[in-house]
Amino acid sequence: MRVVFVQHGNYAEAYRRMCAGEAETYRDQFRSVSLVAGLAAAGPVVTVALGDAHHDAQLAPNLRSVGLPRADIDRAGSLLDDLAPDRLVCRTPHTRLLAAAAARGIATLPCFADMMRPPSPLGLWRHWRLRNALRARTVPCVANHSLNASRSLVEAGLVSAGHVVPWDWSRLVPNPDPKPGMPDPQNPTILFAGKMTVEKGLGDVLAAMSVLAGQGLNARLTVAGGGDVRPWQAEAARLGLAERVDFLGLVPNTEIRHRMRAYDIVVVPSRHDYPEGLPNTIYEGLASRSVLMLSDHPAFRGRVEPGRHCLMFRAGNPAALGAEIRKLCAAPELYAHLSRQAPEALNSLYVGLAWGDLVTYFLDDPANLTGWVERHSLCALGLSG
């Protein structure tokens, strides 16, 4: 059996770092890498990294990594013809690739971590093609990370609730000790962990800090994540924040989690147009027992309760973010309450199959002869609406 995984992110580089004993850059990264590598004992396994530079590397017997640049992504059909998979795990909603797999009768597991939205008038054709590909007879189900993203597949009219299987990463153990408050409420410390992009909301955090500075509240921000740091350094300098913003770049996940515990606030300011499911930062922030500050992104709403588990603000609104930070700094009892409730919030987030179990079910039974889809669908879990 030949298995192909299609994803964003360079599997070859992650595999090299794992074998070299280096640290993973996000939680469960090496768990995922190990699962894929372990499948090579039973037959050929190929990972395809979309958007990466060209590479073609034999990592181990039966384990190959291919990089396909964005300019070549449209040759999905010829890629599948070259690799000839018996099973395809597609970890991104790539319409052309999924349609090509359906046309070739390849057993396919679409496995996403994306909020899906009803189509705009200009996107009707792509939406129709994606819908048809996801409903192909070779697709036993469509998996998505966490509850809101899973429901969004139904709300967007792509598949029915009985055809959707939620998945999640492994469970985190929360820090046993709640935090009583901030050591210095006039100088709160904030951690942002994620891509340095406008859509991820980094600019909104900087703008909120500028507003707070004008009100006598001197927040300090640490940014950990990938991207071009230069425009963000320039923006921090323009706002007079250069001395209060530290840019770390990509750092090991263990360091991120240690810093979350040490900082007062973990902020996740994603704008609505950022198509994520439920980021690891939310799980890890709750596990740290520091206070979680979230935007009202559709993937987050209803998963944690504002005022009980977190504080929430209007996405893309720096003034609203600044107001929530100011409220927290003025209320040590609120900080202590949110920290105490964090384990309850964390445990409520886990929905569906573990990612490794999901992949195993599919590889062993791509036709769903054992009924594994029905047992783990939104309908079976009572979560269809």
Residue 282's pLDDT is 97
DSSP class per residue in 67-134: EE-GGGTT-HHHHHHHH--SEEEE-S--HHHHHHHHHTT-EEEEEE-----PPPGGGHHHHHHHHHHH
State pLDDT tens for residues 277-300. Answer: 899 999 999 999 999 999 999 999
374: left (phi over 0), alpha (psi -120 to 50) or beta: alpha
Residue 51's pLDDT is 81
Q: Are 211 and 322 in contact (CB under 8 A)?
A: yes
A 10 A CB-CB count for 2 gives 14
Question: Which of 192, 200, 174, 179 lies closest to 348, judged by CA?
Answer: 174
Q: Which residues contact 255 (CB under 8 A, 6 or more apart)?
A: 23, 224
71 pLDDT tier (thresholds 50, 70, 90): low
> Which amino acid type is present at position 11?
Y
Q: Which residues contact 125 (CB under 8 A, 6 or more apart)?
A: none
The structural domains of the chain, ordered by start, are 3-171+351-376 (3.40.50.2000), 189-349 (3.40.50.2000)
Residue % of the chain over a pLDDT of 90: 88
Q: Over range 26-49, report the average pLDDT.
A: 95
pTM of the model: 0.91
Question: Which of 69, 23, 62 lies closest to 258, judged by CA?
Answer: 23
DSSP class per residue in 138-178: T---EEEESHHHHHHHHHTTSS-GGGEEEEE-PPPPPPSS-
Question: Which of 37, 108, 45, 44 lies closest to 76, judged by CA?
Answer: 108
Q: Is the pLDDT of residue 73 over 70?
A: no
Residue 77's pLDDT is 83
Q: Pull the structure tokens for residue 370.
A: 């054992």
State pLDDT tens for residues 221-277. Answer: 999 999 999 999 999 999 999 999 999 999 999 999 999 999 999 999 999 999 888
